[in-house]
């Protein structure tokens, strides 16, 4: 694998198509995957790992579910891309609306980044306002306006979150500390009439898992409604994963204006969506003035994978994922406690992550105050024992419905040694 990584770095920046895959924060050589089935991935040298990455979320059913693969194969035989509307898009949009009633209309795109970028443009178009409020530590893809970093202080004008992002691109992005209602109230008191939307993850899972404090999402809803701003709920990661209707299924009564989907909705193929109230969605081209388009949008292989996945993702699937997640959370906490490793396991539905620190994490500042070196040692010992965790301390761990007893036992067997490594022993 080291040879392949050397070759990869010669022709691909960092050897990877997306940065976190490079093992930058944990060190070592990334696993080059040859194939994946159920709860397992197999590397190019034939080594099998129990997978807790699940393609960063999409593989709710496990990898390469035979019925999903068959649906994609059948679709492929009928043509790879048409650039024309299809019946499968209509069916998928109707399926989404059945699960998430506020998704009255749906526009398909290929990535979560496009979905949130479009939601922001739509919110600005709908309100004729400029400012977008986002929370530090929430990730909404890599469009310029959302790639904004917080300055010091709880609510700051966004600073470019990357080289190549201009100050102008983030000048209308305000970054607020997560779970801080008072800071959000202050921002609305100061510039409520300039705010087009607040965008937030259903439950943040991109700084590790940081569930919204009781009433936090409701406070966002209340403030946006009172000030004529929109609430965009980014369910790219939580959508169709934490319940049949995503985070909204776990927080009934929360009614955002727009919602974005990705990952599970495409069943492992490049597909994402923006959805919401019909009057807002009707502002999108070709009906309305907000432009948005895509050559590969609503791709027939992707819609086939999404439809097959949602058809198979019944309540039994969610129950299994919930159960496996709870089992793993307690097994990890137990192993780390036995090895006296400071830790806190945080969950939001079936999503969870482990922070290597001894106090609860309410926001990004707290998340950054963890022992990432301990996580790195833990990660590598798990990997040596055939368990592939997300290669960063700031990511959720993903279960699938295919994690059977054998897979769970392999994880359980690996945990004591990994916990001792984390302890530095």
Where on the chain is the footprint of ligand PMP (CB under 6 A)? 56, 111-113, 116, 139-141, 201, 206, 234, 236-237, 262, 272
**Given the complex with ligand PMP, which of 297 and 421 has the nearer CB atom?**
297
| Burial of residue 314 (number of CB atoms within 10 Å: 0-12, 13-18, 19+) | exposed
Catalytic residue among 263, 318, 364, 371: 263
Q: How many CA atoms lie within 13 A of 5 on its CB side?
A: 16
49 has catalytic annotation:
no
Q: Catalytic: which of 180, 234, 366, 371?
A: 234
Residue 173, number of CB atoms within 10 A of its CB: 26
CB of 233 to ligand PMP, least distance (A): 10
51 noted as active-site residue:
no
Decide whether 266 or 336 has the Cβ nearer to ligand PMP. Answer: 266
In the bound state with ligand PMP, the residue whose beta carbon lies nearer, of 141 and 300, is 141
Q: How far is the CB of 392 from ligand PMP (least distance, A)?
A: 12
56 or 178: CB nearest ligand PMP: 56
Distance CA 265, CA 18 (A): 20
Is the Cβ–Cβ distance between 15 and 9 less than 8 Å?
Answer: yes
**Separation CA 290–CA 107 (nearest Å):** 12
Place of tokens 């998928």: 92
Nearest approach in angstroms of CB 413 to ligand PMP is 30
Cβ at position 223, least distance to ligand PMP in Å: 21
Rg, the chain, Cα only = 21
DSSP β-bridge partners for residue 204 = none
Q: How many whole angstroms separate alpha carbon 245 and alpha carbon 235?
A: 10
d(CA 98, CA 104): 9
Distances (CA, A) of 248 to 199, 258, 260: 15, 12, 12
End-to-end CA distance of the chain: 28
Position with the least CB separation from ligand PMP: 112
Cα 182–chain centre separation:
26
Shortest approach of ligand PMP to residue 30 CB, angstroms? Answer: 18
For ligand PMP, the closer CB: 206 or 320: 206
Q: Is 366 an annotated catalytic residue?
A: no
Which lies closer to ligand PMP via its Cβ, residue 23 or residue 139? 139
- Closest separation in Å from C-beta 105 to ligand PMP: 20
> What angle separates helix 405-423 from helix 372-384, to the nearest 10 degrees?
140
- Identify the helix (H) or strand (E) that includes residue 175: strand 173-176
Which of 59/414 has CB closer to ligand PMP? Answer: 59
Paired tokens of 234: 């980014």
Of 49, 134, 139, 371, which residue is the catalytic one? 139
The pair of structure tokens assigned to 28 is 């070592």
Helices (H), 39-111: 66-77, 87-99
Active site amino acids = 139, 234, 263
């Amino acid at each position: 694998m080291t040879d392949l990584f050397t070759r990869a770095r010669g022709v691909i920046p960092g050897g990877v198509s997306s940065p976190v895959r490079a093992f930058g924060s944990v060190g070592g050589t990334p696993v080059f995957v040859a194939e994946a089935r159920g709860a397992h991935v197999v590397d190019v040298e034939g080594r099998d790992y129990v997978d807790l990455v699940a393609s960063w979320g999409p593989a709710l059913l496990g990898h390469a579910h035979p019925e999903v693969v068959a649906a994609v194969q059948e679709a492929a035989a009928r043509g790879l891309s048409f650039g024309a509307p299809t019946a499968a898009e209509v069916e998928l949009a109707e399926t989404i609306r059945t699960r998430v009633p506020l998704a009255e209309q749906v526009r398909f795109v290929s990535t979560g980044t496009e979905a949130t970028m479009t939601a922001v443009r739509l919110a600005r178009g709908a309100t004729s306002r400029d400012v977008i409020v986002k929370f530090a530590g929430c990730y909404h893809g890599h469009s310029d306006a959302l790639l904004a970093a917080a300055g010091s202080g709880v609510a700051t004008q966004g600073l470019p979150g990357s080289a190549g992002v201009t100050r102008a691109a983030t000048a209308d992005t305000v970054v607020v500390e997560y779970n801080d209602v008072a800071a959000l109230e202050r921002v609305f008191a100061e510039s409520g009439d300039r705010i087009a939307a607040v965008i937030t993850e259903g439950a943040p899972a991109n700084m590790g898992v940081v569930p919204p404090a009781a009433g936090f999402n409701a406070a966002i809803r209340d403030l946006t409604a009172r000030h004529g701003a929109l609430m965009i709920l980014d369910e790219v990661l939580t959508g169709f994963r934490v319940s049949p209707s995503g985070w909204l299924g776990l927080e009934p009564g929360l009614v955002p204006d727009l919602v974005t989907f990705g990952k599970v909705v495409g069943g492992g193929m490049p597909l994402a969506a923006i959805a919401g109230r019909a009057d807002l969605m009707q502002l999108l081209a070709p009906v309305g003035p907000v432009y948005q388009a895509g050559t590969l949008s609503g791709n027939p292989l992707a819609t086939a994978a999404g439809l097959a996945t949602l058809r198979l993702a019944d309540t039994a699937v969610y129950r299994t994922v919930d159960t496996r997640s709870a089992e793993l959370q307690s097994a990890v906490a137990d192993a780390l406690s036995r090895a006296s490793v400071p830790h806190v396991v945080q969950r939001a539905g079936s999503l969870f992550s482990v922070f290597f620190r001894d106090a609860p994490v309410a926001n990004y500042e707290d998340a950054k105050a963890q022992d990432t070196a301990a996580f790195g040692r833990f990660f590598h010992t798990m990997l040596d024992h055939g368990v592939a965790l997300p290669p960063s301390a700031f990511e959720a761990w993903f279960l699938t419905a295919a994690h059977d007893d054998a897979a769970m036992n392999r994880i359980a067997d690996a945990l004591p040694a990994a916990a001792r490594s984390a302890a530095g022993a």
